[in-house]
Homo-oligomer: A and B are copies of this chain.
């Protein structure tokens, strides 16, 4: 991005979609983001800000003039605006609200009153409603009179006089069925409406299970308050899946790859510190066997192998559990069956690789007892890893802690402790003079 390239960048930015501009901004080092941003066409500001991750968004917002920010919010759908407005300076928020007409302001305030990770926070309240006792012909004339429909409207919602949700009327039915029929005869009633306080994760699951494109949202009294379309849910699905992988490494799922060094360092320091604490636990176990180690140095050479194999075996079980728990495949009721299976796998692989390690150790150090000891320690550690891999996530779930968060740190501590104790303990018993 030298100044020569800058001149060529501007037309390129004009040709890109806001989502692509957002990706470009995320992949540019912090220092150059402001320059790129200044070349983004103003009409793309709003959508681009919606597409960048949280960190980059607040960075850009901080640097923008209030008037430009205000302009960027124009034309944003209500559900997106409700998320966006939370990141704006208070003064801009007030101006945004002031610039809206009464109906839209009320809509925005309604969406903002729900937590952003609930159906209420995901929904858009620009629904088109019709009555059950009119004919399709009347509905058709009403729509033609309106002239336009909100973005991605594929279905109309049928409500009673008191606003209670009764069913859906797809545009596909509207254009294919006999215009003289009543709405109530042809509407779909088999889809249960989502309640406004349903957690976003459950909304996402419902959409995936039923292959939905859009769904009605009702308040506790059954009154229609909005609709959720699948493009809002896609973000939830992706974020959820990404959440596990980032959390398992102690990272935030919105982590900016070019976050300021101080901020990145601070965040990761916490994770390294937690690991250090548990590493010292493992070191103390090793410390118990100082006398043995000073006599049989081969034990010190081989002990990382036992610990490492336990860690790998355990993390396979752990990953399977974390995914199974989040998909709902695994619960307390089938955990015992799963434990039995994982134990069997652990014993088989423990014996297999234990034998291999044992033979290599025997040849390397010319000591058959040492070979036997490492083989046995490896089997013990695989068994411990299986128990820990199944047990830790279940225990964390019971304590309402996200198993992805600390699961791997706790697991490797346990496999280290078991591995070192088993190997060095057996060594102390059978190898000392």
Contacts and interface: CB of A to CB of B under 8 A. Distances in A.
Interface of A: 17, 19-20, 23, 26-29, 51, 140, 143-144, 146-149, 152-154, 171-172, 174-178, 207-213, 229-231, 234-235, 237-238, 241-242, 244-246, 248-251, 255, 257-258, 261-262, 264-265, 268-269, 271-273, 275-276, 279-280, 282-283, 286-287, 290, 293-294, 297-298, 300-305, 307-309, 312-313, 315-316, 318-320, 322-324, 327-331, 334, 337-338, 341, 344-345, 348-349, 352-353, 356-357, 360, 364, 412, 416, 420
Nearest to A282: B304
Contacts of A178: 144
B305 A279 contact: yes
Contact of A337 (B29, B209, B230, B283): B29
Given A300-B293, A308-B279, A230 B234 contact: yes
A241, A249, A313, A356, most chain B CB atoms within 10 A:
A249
Given A29-B337, A237-B241, 17 more contacts: A17-B209, A20-B209, A27-B324, A140-B175, A144-B177, A149-B176, A238-B238, A272-B313, A273-B356, A275-B308, A276-B309, A283-B302, A290-B298, A290-B300, A290-B301, A304-B307, A308-B416
Contact of A171 (B171, B275, B301): B171
A356 B261 contact: no
A212 B210 CA distance: 19
A319 B268 CA distance: 12
How many copies of this chain sit in the oligomeric assembly?
Answer: 2
15 contacts: A17-B210, A26-B327, A144-B176, A149-B176, A154-B172, A171-B171, A230-B230, A234-B234, A249-B319, A261-B341, A261-B348, A276-B357, A279-B304, A286-B301, A304-B304
5 A-B pairs with the lowest CB-CB distances in the bound complex, closest first: A241-B241, A19-B209, A300-B300, A249-B319, A171-B171
Nearest to A361: B283
A414 B294 CA distance: 27
Contact of A353 (B269, B302, B316, B318): B269
A331 B26 CA distance: 12
B261 A327 contact: no
Contact of A148 (B51, B176, B261): B176
Contact of A249 (B175, B242, B294, B315): B315
Contact of A330 (B27, B176, B177, B305): B27
